[in-house]
Amino acid sequence: MAGGKETPRQKMIGMMYLVLTALLALNVSKEIIAAFITINDKLDNSGAIIDDKSQSNTIAFNQKRLALKEKDASLKTINLWQGKSEQLNRLTSSTVSFILENSNEMIKMAEGKDWIASTNEKGEIEQLKSLFDISNMDNYDIPTNLFIGGNPNKPNAKGNSIRDSIIAYRDNVCKLMANYSEGTNEWVFNPIIAKQDIEKALLTVNPKDTSAIKHIYSTLSIPETIKIKDAGEVKEKPWASAMFDHAPIVAAAALFTALKVDVLNGKSIASDFMLAKVDAPMFNFNKIEPLPFSRSNYVNLGDSLGLNVMIAAYDSTENNIIRYGIDEDTIPEKWITTNGKIKLKSDSPGYHIAKGQIGVKENNEVKYRNWRYAYTVGEPTGTISLPKLNVLYRGNKNEILGGGSGFTTYRLVAVDNVQIRNENGKQIAYPGRDRISKIKVIGVNSNGQESDLGTHEFRVENTPTPNLKLGSAEENRDAELSEITYATRITPYYGPGIPLNCNYRIVDYIIKIEGVPVSKKGDGPILSNEVKQYLRTARVGSTVTIQTTIMNTISNTTSRKNATYRIQ
């Protein structure tokens, strides 16, 4: 299965394949059967190395794309060949999976369980388990019956489908490599013609590509029949019969691994061909690392933080030159030059900017690329809070203030059971009917960038019921006779223990003097002349009682409030 120029590894794989084919044609001992395990492992390891090489071409395509974008060059060619490379990857995965599916089915019939080690995200098989653990490794009935049937001269469809899958893969890979337009030329490869005469089929492909396509065609070609010796007589047998007739399970499994390696080798050759079709400068990379980053490295409990993970590729042997400045020094004339880490300024709180250029080597020429980094320095602060005293009162203008250390400004956001209004330059919170209200603090930088600084809970209580003054006489203390007889109004008020504005007014009232058979009524806080005359009948030692309806001017709710005054 070799042709054209081959690497030493490819030649070694070819020799191992020939040894494997020869052993399959012999009646072998258990020791030789066990040797197939070693051959299988070596083939598998070689396949992994070849596949790794092919995977590196994916990175190389991305490097070339980056270089073309940097030069504002056309992406038409790389779109064509990188797209073909992606088709090649999908075609290879499905073909390898088909080969290993057959091997797994054979082993499962002998062992009673799947022999799959790994699959890809599409569920396609990528790897089988080691043959070392197969207990029925010398069973040859299963491969013979499964892939040949009763007539070795006419293998069944299942056995023929294995060779057919490799041939189909070969033809599709050749078409991916050969079929494309170049200027006014339309290059094509016809597998039907190639089956009869490969040289004739190559007449319609780009002359620059004929050698590579001929190589891949030869590498992936499997003959329909194979000559074997039977009792000293040379006979031709169909490929499936020559491979599987009385072949022990481990030998047949090793053959499937060899076919898998052939497919991966074909992919590697075709991938190199496609990559070479894109003429673009390459950045010098020798190290690739994951680079996680986000807009912030701070998150509050219960909030979410977006994390991006990308690939950073760089040359670890290069000591890149960096030119930069911070804040007022970001103009190029004030830049500092270094080739190490940058020490960011943190001697003043707030928002800062560092920006500059880094020298990147492209095709042995250093070119400078702009970069910019913004960061915030917070000023350490300490606070003490009394969470049980965090209260918002219904029916009261609750003035609230916020703050965020290290931020230019802030804003408050109503989260639950509260409204926040801006009144005369102050932020006023009006809680709802539930027992808990929630308010969030958002820190805002000078560039408008916002950060969630946490959500605060407040207990919600009704505004306290006020006391009442009758004139200057205060509730719950002895009153002077003159305070009662000269009273002109009823006034709601809070004592010094309640630091709230008293947002209540008198709706109506009834006044009763102890020992006087009648009472007097009135509306509003101002006493009528009739009520004033009535109060002048009060005497020392008597008690004056007031029954009022009061209204909260914020919530517009009414309630009853009574008060008594003993005259001394």
Whole-number pLDDT of residue 302 = 47
Give ranges for CATH 2.60.40 in the chain.
Answer: 387-462
Pick the range with the lowest mean pLDDT from 33-42, 139-148, 265-274, 379-388: 379-388
Q: In what order do the strands lie in the sheet with 426-431?
A: 398-400, 426-431, 418-423
Which three-class secondary structure state does DSSP give residue 188? coil
End-to-end Cα separation, the chain, in angstroms = 124
Assigned fold of 387-462: Immunoglobulin-like (2.60.40)
- Can you give the pTM of this predicted structure? 0.52
pLDDT, tens digit (0-9, with 9 covering 90-100), for 160-199:
999 999 999 999 999 999 999 998 999 999 999 999 999 9
Which has more confidence, 351 or 542?
542
pLDDT, tens digit (0-9, with 9 covering 90-100), for 202-246:
999 999 999 999 999 999 999 999 887 766 788 889 999 988 988
* Residues linked to residue 489 through DSSP beta bridges, in sequence order: 526
Tell me which amino acid residue 565 is: Y
Whole-number pLDDT of residue 20 = 55
Percent helix, strand and coil across the chain, each to the nearest 5: 35, 30, 35
Q: How many residues does the chain have?
A: 568
Which of 410, 408, 404, 563 lies closest to 493 in space, CA to CA? 563
**Can you point out the beta strands (E) in 424-489?**
426-431, 436-444, 450-462, 467-470, 473-474
